[in-house]
Structure 1
């Protein structure tokens, strides 16, 4: 009955497709137009990828920090390292640039050397006031040199804010309106206003400016993602079409395949728009992925069609058999591939969940499109000529298949030795893999903005904000001298860490107040004693201009203090060591019964998210392996077949993991995807081979060896074709400027190449070696689902149908 259902179902599908060709074309056209209309809903991500669930404790702490102090990533810095800056002409141009920036509504305020203010003590009444650092507007070279010396030697308050502690580098701090930091307005301001303004300044004044800060980095990075989407799609189409044409030597077969995958790409963008998902560094990969995964479907369908034409020359019969015979097999393989991507839905990461949903939907969609478009288009065309069928009998392809058969027949021990050796070496490599949660590591390292990041790391000790929130548990507790001294101790502790910059906090303003009280003597830039505090307080109460800094680092109640430091581009392992060293000392400085201290910030959250992601993806990959194993066992009615099906597919994953260890490629959000993607795709070859093997067993009266070699010859060609397409298709991602995308493309390509060799050499070797225990008639019962129908099956099914109808 299962065979009747299987054959009958796919026969009905074939009749439905071929009898309703025009209706199906109109439906596909209508759906394509509808999904194209959803493109307007696509939007590009304006925030960093948050890999943690919204309700994760670390995210909740970060949200608590934002509630008290607002968006922390709103700083853009513009730096210049040039001794000629403090000359009248260039200094005037620098001031004009900063004044122009202040005029933009997107900018809250700018701190620059041209309009610095210094704290001044006045006696009647007793007060501090902020007065301009530069007393006159038009300064000559000598006066500018004097001010330059005063800035670097007498104003420690502005260290790391306006000037570098390491050199004569000057920077302007540009604070964006916090309301636009995570919006399209930020992108428009940076790309349409800031970048042209900077470029014009550089050209006019012969000064090289360096620009950085998280809003700037994020904008240029997201623009790179947008630029690369088109590049990937064009490259994937070019590579796959060239390989396809090389194999089939048919322009029309190539064009039909390209049309199919192009519609699939349009649908992919439409699904993203329909679901209102953002285009991130992951979802940007889906359209070219659809091309790479869709082409093998086209290969199987067109190859089968041409084989049928070569056998009997009947077009209608050929098209019907393409759907009934290949449809079921490609459905199974596409489901397993979609399952590999669908495992990302099981993570609590919004980024990966969206990627998994869109990818799995579109993999099923490209299967449906292939099954409908290819037979329908061929039904309107002439039968392929002999020159289009020549590739079916290529000598060099037969040579490869002969070599594989020879290896399996005579060198199985060598195959096992190589496999075990690879396994042992890979396990050694796996132990050397490190986890990286760097927010900048995957960014284009050849880009100008990445070079600027390194510049600011060198001059200002970091660019990514790391926030420390101190809860004194009482109103106005921050401004108590005991609390300020504790904050200063923590700042000194942080400043000793090479990977972190000197922190910014309210203590700077308090120290500056004492310096101003002692007539701007820089040696008094320190916290006041309890006695000095009584003298200074009458002056400090009138300090109104300092409220900007006070409000930035102390909340309105005076209970919470914010300490901001900047991190260099360090990975998860380094940051974890820094935290391990800091926390015992933090808890000593701030006793837990009197204070609550939290470490947060976007860069830290990204690192924590990477660790969380790794744990979740290990679970999801394990579930994928389990689900596919159960599926294979059900499909072939043999739990022992799990061993046969999983070993050739797990070995390539372990080899790839070992390669990552030896090559120094870390586990990170981009590379962790490799395993689920590769496993979902590589298991397709196993399904094809085992399905054909099961069919050959019955045809050859359960003679194992003959069946294995027959299955190898029959499926080897298609497996080779598809693996080559997948290998070069995923290699396209290696042209990316994003390190993570390059690693993803290279690792998936390598894994699929290993998987092809494993399925064509190790899998048949295992079948031959374990024939008594696994690959025999008792174990290999009638499959639950017929994947490949043979001619004998069709005759048997027709007889059963006739008998069934007679009884009825």
Structure 2
């Protein structure tokens, strides 16, 4: 690798770039066109992120459940909580709305007031038949009141399905075809058909309709992600361009940089399409991330070009030095940044692996684009005039550098004391960090659909399905009375958990069959006796909509497997683990393991288990990133002792951020878990710049430690400040998101990078000065494996250079 970081190599690269400018621009254009053609392959995720490996036992159990019953999250619910519903006009309109929904191709069946059936006796000949609950299409006020009383007082089976007794809320359950739940057809139905239909009903009837259910939540959540991609890109371009212009006061430099990162964004989308990866909450942040990381490359290149022009005014020489010096330095820093993202590739989580692959590829791509486009573009432009170089002499930057030097020179003890205090406080905060596996926590709380979620949590005790799969280990075993009684016992236990809704299973259908058989008397809402089962159980098959759809929802075609569904409130990981810990001993007691096999699954459980998996992998991936960068440092400086001095200033900001999370109540979750690897990969760049410059200064100043530290601080302080400010405000862009996790990611990475800048500009030089005899001396800092090219050694001012463009 040292070959690729040597002066000779980069001098050759510079000449190659400047002598083949037109060819390179054509290649960039062709690659951009090709990757643009791959945009058609981009697709948005229509499911929640599955954070577990595909072969994980929990995933395999979930897949087994899906094989038996199909997609579990196919239920959308609409509810009205208004006494005015039980007036003739509005009552009929509500039933017509449910009838309209049946006509849509995406809808399998519905359970609404108009779909309810009851068992009724008939004479001559004597028989029982299932008849509609609503017998009149346009009932008068008296009849509507009769329906209301019968529903809430005599039909306990439909509690939780069609109504809630808490405040007499009425809902319609819409079951989508399972084969379209995870496709774009679901989005089309929700956005283009369901929402306009509901809005029109609300306008005409003056009733507020609450809508929820996982397909609905997923669709609107995905739509928010799509909408925010454009917002993030626009905001990142605006913020970084304003900061860039503030630093350089040049429209030309700003436009060139913006064009460069826009091409980088186009490539990022193209790579996503080329690899056929879905756009998720994570991959959606990559395009703006490329802008934020690409602009510092542009700053380094353009700032160096203008410095060289100011020195000698020779454009050809300036361009060659830009590529040779800055290309050498930024290659290394971009590699370390990419490695922070690349550690996610080594996890078994498909979601994180895809994020790591696309992010690391595009970070390196934006480096290549910057290195090619900026020098080539400037080579076709006139040499900057003196007025374009005024920004190089900003007094306030000089004041900032003077303050840093005073702190390092006179207040090193204070720096160490503050660092130790921050470390101690952070460790206390770390012990307060909680883990969150909630599906809803990152969703936008200001969105209407989130308010609807809260309504359904209050009325129906949750919207996130938790599934229990019961294997009776024999065909038609589910409908055995002994099995039904065991299931009823488990349902009673589940009902005791405040965080879970009333469970629904075939038990409810059988109990309702008995009630219906006894003329609808609610006191007979119970399982049949052994004498009753033979003539009551057949009626269960006719309940729940046309063709007994509800029965097939809860019992598989062989009658061997039963499904019990309950809905969870938005609870945290610890609460979910407590519920599991309490339930499993009782499940195993009710269903002996030698005769039954019981599994607990569902999207909510998968997500919670996935979060725990990520937390375990966070330590592994971050440790790997630290280890790789430590190896790089040791190889760079041929000294294992330099690992200590390079890692301390970068680990302290991570610990401070973790402590902040504990004190501020920001949990560890899939979004915030990225903070540490991202921030570490970026912040270590400052350390590399500083130590490389320090090594040069030691050589130039005959190994005089103090003079070298202060010279390196003044030289690198300005560029570190510039890039850190861009990164701080660039990542702050994510705080405009409506997703809590993205907001936390932006704020935490911004804060970490700010701490890292101060740590590298204050703590790092303070350590070098305090440990000069042990570490920062000539014996330790031998001739390094690589050298970020010394200007004095490689570019003597009186040397005549060939024009590299010729």
For Structure 1 versus Structure 2, the TM-score category normalised by the shorter chain is over 0.9
User: 1:150: how far off?
Assistant: 0.8
User: 1:526: how far off?
Assistant: 0.9
Q: Does 1:245 align with 2:245?
A: yes
User: 1:549: how far off?
Assistant: 2.5
Match of 1:450 in 2: 450
Instruction: Write the distance in 2 (CA, Å) between the matches of 1:215 and 1:403.
Output: 56
User: 1:471: how far off?
Assistant: 1.0
Q: Does 1:650 align with 2:651?
A: yes
Instruction: Write the distance in 1 (CA, Å) between the matches of 2:123 and 2:362.
Output: 74
Instruction: Write the distance in 2 (CA, Å) between the matches of 1:711 and 1:473.
Output: 73
User: 1:606: how far off?
Assistant: 0.8
Match of 1:11 in 2: 11
Match of 1:806 in 2: none
Instruction: Write the distance in 2 (CA, Å) between the matches of 1:530 and 1:157.
Output: 21
- Within 5 Å, give how 1:182-193 maps onto structure 2: 182-193=182-193
The SS at the match of 1:299 is helix
Match of 1:371 in 2: 371
Instruction: Write the distance in 2 (CA, Å) between the matches of 1:540 and 1:34.
Output: 59
User: 1:737: how far off?
Assistant: 0.2
If the length of structure 1 is used for normalisation, what is the TM-score? 0.97
User: 1:227: how far off?
Assistant: 0.4
8 Å Cα contact 1:127-1:539 kept in structure 2: no
Match of 2:554 in 1: 553
CA shift digits 1:78-128 (9 cap, x unpaired): 111110111111111111111111111111111111232112355777764
Residues 675 and 127 of structure 1: is their aligned pair in 2 closer, same or farther, counting only changes over 3 Å? farther
Q: Does 1:87 align with 2:81?
A: no
8 Å Cα contact 2:541-2:548 kept in structure 1: no
8 Å Cα contact 1:695-1:790 kept in structure 2: no
Match of 2:629 in 1: 628
Instruction: Write the distance in 1 (CA, Å) between the matches of 2:42 and 2:504.
Output: 39
Match of 2:174 in 1: 174
- Within 5 Å, give how 1:649-668 maps onto structure 2: 649-668=650-669
8 Å Cα contact 1:466-1:600 kept in structure 2: yes
8 Å Cα contact 1:128-1:540 kept in structure 2: no
User: 1:470: how far off?
Assistant: 0.8
Residues 542 and 427 of structure 1: is their aligned pair in 2 closer, same or farther, counting only changes over 3 Å? closer
Instruction: Write the distance in 2 (CA, Å) between the matches of 1:543 and 1:79.
Output: 22
The SS at the match of 1:598 is strand
- Within 5 Å, give how 1:566-585 maps onto structure 2: 566-585=567-586
Match of 2:344 in 1: 344
Match of 2:598 in 1: 597
Match of 2:440 in 1: 440
- Within 5 Å, give how 1:234-313 maps onto structure 2: 234-313=234-313
Residues 83 and 530 of structure 1: is their aligned pair in 2 closer, same or farther, counting only changes over 3 Å? same
Residues 469 and 406 of structure 1: is their aligned pair in 2 closer, same or farther, counting only changes over 3 Å? same
Instruction: Write the distance in 2 (CA, Å) between the matches of 1:81 and 1:543.
Output: 26
User: 1:165: how far off?
Assistant: 2.7
> 392-401 or 509-518: which moved more?
509-518
Instruction: Write the distance in 2 (CA, Å) between the matches of 1:178 and 1:460.
Output: 23
Residues 325 and 541 of structure 1: is their aligned pair in 2 closer, same or farther, counting only changes over 3 Å? closer
Instruction: Write the distance in 1 (CA, Å) between the matches of 2:474 and 2:124.
Output: 34
User: 1:478: how far off?
Assistant: 1.4
8 Å Cα contact 1:315-1:379 kept in structure 2: yes
User: 1:697: how far off?
Assistant: 0.2
Residues 711 and 514 of structure 1: is their aligned pair in 2 closer, same or farther, counting only changes over 3 Å? same
Residues 540 and 740 of structure 1: is their aligned pair in 2 closer, same or farther, counting only changes over 3 Å? closer
8 Å Cα contact 2:509-2:543 kept in structure 1: no
- Within 5 Å, give how 1:453-468 maps onto structure 2: 453-468=453-468
Match of 2:360 in 1: 360
Residues 291 and 537 of structure 1: is their aligned pair in 2 closer, same or farther, counting only changes over 3 Å? closer
If the length of structure 2 is used for normalisation, what is the TM-score? 0.97
Match of 2:517 in 1: 517
User: 1:533: how far off?
Assistant: 2.9
Match of 1:399 in 2: 399
User: 1:542: how far off?
Assistant: 8.1
The SS at the match of 1:531 is coil
Match of 2:110 in 1: 110
User: 1:546: how far off?
Assistant: 7.4
Match of 1:791 in 2: 792
Instruction: Write the distance in 1 (CA, Å) between the matches of 2:505 and 2:319.
Output: 74
The SS at the match of 2:163 is coil
User: 1:559: how far off?
Assistant: 1.4
> 129-138 or 358-367: which moved more?
129-138
Instruction: Write the distance in 2 (CA, Å) between the matches of 1:115 and 1:539.
Output: 16
8 Å Cα contact 1:128-1:543 kept in structure 2: no
CA shift digits 1:472-520 (9 cap, x unpaired): 1122221121111110111011111111000000111111122122221
Instruction: Write the distance in 2 (CA, Å) between the matches of 1:134 and 1:123.
Output: 21
The SS at the match of 1:22 is helix
User: 1:538: how far off?
Assistant: 7.2
Instruction: Write the distance in 2 (CA, Å) between the matches of 1:684 and 1:648.
Output: 12
8 Å Cα contact 1:461-1:567 kept in structure 2: yes
Unaligned runs of 5+ in 2: 801-806
Instruction: Write the distance in 2 (CA, Å) between the matches of 1:104 and 1:434.
Output: 44
User: 1:390: how far off?
Assistant: 1.4
User: 1:547: how far off?
Assistant: 3.2
The SS at the match of 2:53 is coil
8 Å Cα contact 1:7-1:794 kept in structure 2: no
Residues 3 and 548 of structure 1: is their aligned pair in 2 closer, same or farther, counting only changes over 3 Å? closer
> 126-135 or 186-195: which moved more?
126-135
